[in-house]
């Protein structure tokens, strides 16, 4: 990957079904995105990432694709897409697509053909296996191995017509593609080239570290949950680096100015160094999960509070690990995560301050920041009631498994889903204070968060003290201050449970970032406070600068000073 323009870029993720509805059917669409491009250009972002817009039965909101080379009529047409791409490019923004090729939809013609008979030429495009030895096919426990699916239930679905099971790590409508088969790989490469030829600027690759499986598909570890954990056989599997390098050669080599980011649950720093080392020609950066799993305890159905020292240890490890080779992505939010201001901040009295503090602490790390729709206005979690309020296949599937199969108390499971469920991120984007937050003139597929009269983009753009203008400032700082992009990183106060502090240094410029992760004042015990006496206060999210290094509730400050190199 020749040019690393993405080191100074900020990416904005659009989840099209919840972004903006132009035709009143309650579902966001591409023309809705076109109508709001100025909001994004005004924020200053460099790249848009579109979650899947392809034809899909929408079992997992489009992460189940039945045609990789078209647009679902729900979202518009290919010509709407071309118009969006041109309009983004005109405003100086690039656009990357979501690439979902660990699995397809069960309604994709490839899978339909694969199902048609044991001798179908596409049979081997997916993972088909007979029942466990000595078991009656189709009966409970006869699945080829003990793996559970991410969305609850077994990872296998029985096909009575051909008498075998197919593997689906996600829903039964998301059969896993068999990347061992070279024909599968070349079909994927061809499809990717088709999008690049159309003008797109790269891909975000869905669970891409799941594509190489240990072909024997052995039983997974038994954890006490209803099913075994097969991840040792598919996370960062034996041929993953080979597959990604081959993809690079077949698709990306010789093309300039692209961005590739691999979503990689469970990836370690050591593995990420390999994935993102430019010399290895795999991907530009990965999405790791350690910092969004930092508040997950051993029991998934018990909420655990974040310990700030854990979060700092995680970021510190990733910053150090990718300092000399590779590159970090930086994110708090996406369509799978709860709203960060409700999770790691305070979405009550200090919503604005804490949203700004979280933005500053994240964006000033070394790496490429990602902003998820609504984060830039400090959108909050939704007040979900019962399980009937959720639409997400993961929430519904995991609830059923936890309550019906594992005997967890429904209220315990709901407590966790309310705090962590993915639908928190998927409520409509809050544009203004008109009905349904200005998202649709119809009935939204998921209700708007009732806080939209207070929290909306129109209001935020008018208010110079809003979260929106703070994010705009952070993005501008990245674009104008090379130390934000290239500076080295030093964590300070690693043992402090309330303050997050670090420096960034490039040549004669040093930046100091301090964020207060609490609603009470706290004093930063800096190693050399006098050095910062005459420093410039570049950004501050409260009216007063800190006196004697005491930061107010949820305060964030960014200082800059000149040092002798
Ligand atoms: C990760 C995506 O971000 C998530 O939304 C989806 O459910 C799974 N991969 C399966 O595609």
Token pair of 28 as six digits: 């966001």
Q: Give the pLDDT of residue 378.
A: 99
Alpha carbon of 280 to ligand 1 centroid (Å): 26
Edge-first strand listing for the sheet containing 499-506: 488-492, 499-506, 509-516, 556-562, 536-540
Q: Give the pLDDT of residue 190.
A: 98
Q: Give the pLDDT of residue 3.
A: 61
Read off the pLDDT of residues 406-416 as tens digits, 9 standing for 90 and up. Answer: 999 999 999 99
Closest atom, ligand 1, to C-alpha of 151: 7
DSSP state of 250: I
Q: Tokens 């108390």 identify what position?
A: 409
Closest atom, ligand 1, to C-alpha of 102: 11
Do 111 and 126 form a contact (C-beta atoms < 8 A)? yes
Q: Give the pLDDT of residue 415.
A: 98
- The 8 Å CB, 24+ separation contacts for 224-228 are 225/148, 225/401, 225/406, 226/148, 226/401, 226/405, 226/406, 227/146, 227/147, 227/148, 227/149, 227/153, 227/154, 227/155, 228/145, 228/146, 228/147, 228/148
Closest atom, ligand 1, to C-alpha of 103: 11
DSSP state of 29: -
Within 8 A by CB and 6+ apart from 311, the residues are: 291, 294, 344, 500
Ligand 1, CB cutoff 6 Å, lining residues: 60, 63, 100, 170, 206-207, 263, 335-336
Do 396 and 387 form a contact (C-beta atoms < 8 A)? yes
Read off the pLDDT of residues 361-375 as tens digits, 9 standing for 90 and up. Answer: 999 999 999 999 999
What span, in angstroms and rounded, lies between the C-alpha atoms of 114 and 139? 22
Rounded alpha-carbon distances, angstroms, from residue 543 to 353, 447, 525: 11, 35, 22
Pick from 54, 58, 60, 209 the residue to mutate for probing ligand 1's pocket: most ligand atoms within 8 Å of its CB: 60
What's the predicted TM-score (pTM) here? 0.98
CA dihedral sign of residues 103, 60, 370, 200: positive
Per-10-residue mean pLDDT of the chain, 565 residues long, equals: 83 99 98 98 98 98 98 98 98 98 99 98 98 96 97 97 98 98 98 98 98 97 92 98 98 97 98 98 98 93 96 98 98 98 98 99 98 99 98 98 96 98 98 98 98 98 98 98 98 98 98 98 97 97 97 98 91
Q: Of 179, 496, 435, nearest to 309 (Cα)?
A: 496
Pick from 49, 97, 100 the residue to mutate for probing ligand 1's pocket: most ligand atoms within 8 Å of its CB: 100
Q: What share of the chain is helix, strand, coil (3-state, %, to 5)?
A: 35, 15, 50
Alpha carbon of 175 to ligand 1 centroid (Å): 13
Do 402 and 394 form a contact (C-beta atoms < 8 A)? no
Q: Which residues are catalytic?
A: 206, 263
Rounded alpha-carbon distances, angstroms, from residue 406 to 221, 309, 403, 477, 562: 17, 33, 6, 50, 59
Q: Of 561, 510, 551, nearest to 357 (Cα)?
A: 551
Ligand 1, atom 11: nearest CA belongs to which residue? Answer: 63
Within 8 A by CB and 6+ apart from 13, the residues are: 48, 49, 51, 334, 335, 370, 371, 372, 373
Alpha carbon of 30 to ligand 1 centroid (Å): 20
What span, in angstroms and rounded, lies between the C-alpha atoms of 368 and 45? 11
Alpha carbon of 205 to ligand 1 centroid (Å): 10
Closest atom, ligand 1, to C-alpha of 170: 10
Q: Of 244, 119, 116, 108, nearest to 179 (Cα)?
A: 244
Ligand 1, atom 6: nearest CA belongs to which residue? Answer: 63
Do 78 and 71 form a contact (C-beta atoms < 8 A)? yes
Strands 368-372 and 329-331 turn out to be parallel
Alpha carbon of 206 to ligand 1 centroid (Å): 6
Rounded alpha-carbon distances, angstroms, from residue 355 to 11, 183, 242, 382, 467: 18, 47, 40, 16, 7
DSSP state of 455: S
């Amino acid at each position: 990957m020749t040019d690393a323009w993405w080191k100074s870029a900020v990416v904005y993720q659009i989840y099209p079904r919840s972004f903006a509805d132009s035709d009143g059917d309650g579902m966001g669409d591409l023309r809705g995105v076109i109508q709001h491009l100025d909001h994004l250009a005004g924020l200053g972002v460099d790249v848009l990432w579109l979650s899947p817009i392809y034809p899909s039965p929408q079992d997992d909101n489009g992460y189940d694709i039945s045609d990789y080379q078209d647009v679902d009529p729900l979202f518009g047409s290919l010509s709407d897409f071309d118009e969006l791409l041109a309009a983004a490019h005109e405003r100086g923004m690039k656009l990357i697509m979501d690439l979902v090729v660990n699995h397809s939809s069960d309604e994709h013609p490839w899978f339909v053909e694969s199902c048609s008979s044991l001798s179908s030429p596409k049979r081997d495009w997916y993972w088909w296996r007979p029942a466990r030895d000595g078991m009656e096919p189709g009966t409970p426990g006869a699945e080829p191995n003990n793996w559970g699916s991410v969305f609850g239930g077994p990872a296998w679905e029985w096909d009575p017509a051909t008498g075998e099971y197919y593997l689906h790590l996600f829903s039964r409508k998301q059969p896993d593609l068999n990347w061992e088969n070279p024909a599968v790989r070349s079909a994927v490469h061809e499809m990717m080239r088709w999008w690049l030829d159309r003008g797109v600027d790269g891909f975000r690759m869905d669970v891409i570290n799941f594509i190489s499986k240990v072909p024997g598909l052995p039983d997974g570890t038994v954890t006490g949950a209803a099913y075994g954990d097969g991840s040792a056989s598919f996370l960062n599997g034996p041929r993953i680096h080979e597959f990604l390098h081959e993809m690079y050669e077949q698709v990306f080599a010789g093309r300039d100015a692209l961005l590739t980011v691999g979503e990689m649950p469970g990836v370690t720093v050591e593995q990420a160094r390999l994935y993102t080392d430019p010399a290895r020609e795999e991907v530009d950066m990965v999405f790791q999960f350690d910092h969004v799993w930092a508040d997950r305890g051993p029991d998934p159905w018990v909420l655990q509070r974040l310990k700030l020292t854990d979060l700092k240890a995680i970021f510190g490890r990733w910053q150090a690990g990718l300092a000399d080779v590779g590159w970090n992505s930086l994110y708090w939010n996406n369509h799978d995560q709860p709203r960060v201001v409700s999770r790691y901040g305070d979405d009550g009295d200090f919503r604005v301050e804490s949203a700004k503090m979280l933005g500053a602490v994240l964006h000033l790390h070394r790496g490429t920041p990602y902003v998820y729709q609504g984060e830039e206005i400090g959108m909050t979690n939704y007040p979900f009631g019962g399980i009937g309020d959720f639409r997400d296949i993961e929430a519904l599937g995991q609830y059923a498994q936890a309550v019906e199969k594992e005997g967890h108390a429904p209220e315990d499971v709901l407590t966790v889903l309310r705090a962590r469920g993915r639908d928190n991120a998927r409520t409509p984007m809050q544009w203004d204070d008109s009905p349904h937050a200005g998202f649709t003139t119809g009935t939204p597929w998921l209700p708007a968060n009732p806080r939209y009269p207070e929290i909306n983009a129109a209001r935020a753009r008018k208010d110079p003290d809003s979260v929106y203008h703070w994010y705009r400032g952070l993005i501008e700082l990245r674009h104008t201050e090379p130390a934000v992009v290239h500076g080295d990183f030093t964590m300070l106060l690693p043992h402090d449970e309330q303050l997050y502090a670090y420096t960034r240094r490039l040549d004669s410029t040093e930046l100091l970032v301090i964020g207060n992760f609490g609603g009470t004042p706290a004093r930063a015990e800096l190693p050399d406070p006098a050095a910062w006496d005459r420093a410039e206060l570049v950004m501050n999210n409260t009216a007063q600068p800190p006196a004697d290094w005491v930061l107010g509730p949820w305060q964030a400050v960014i200082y800059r000073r000149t040092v002798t190199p």
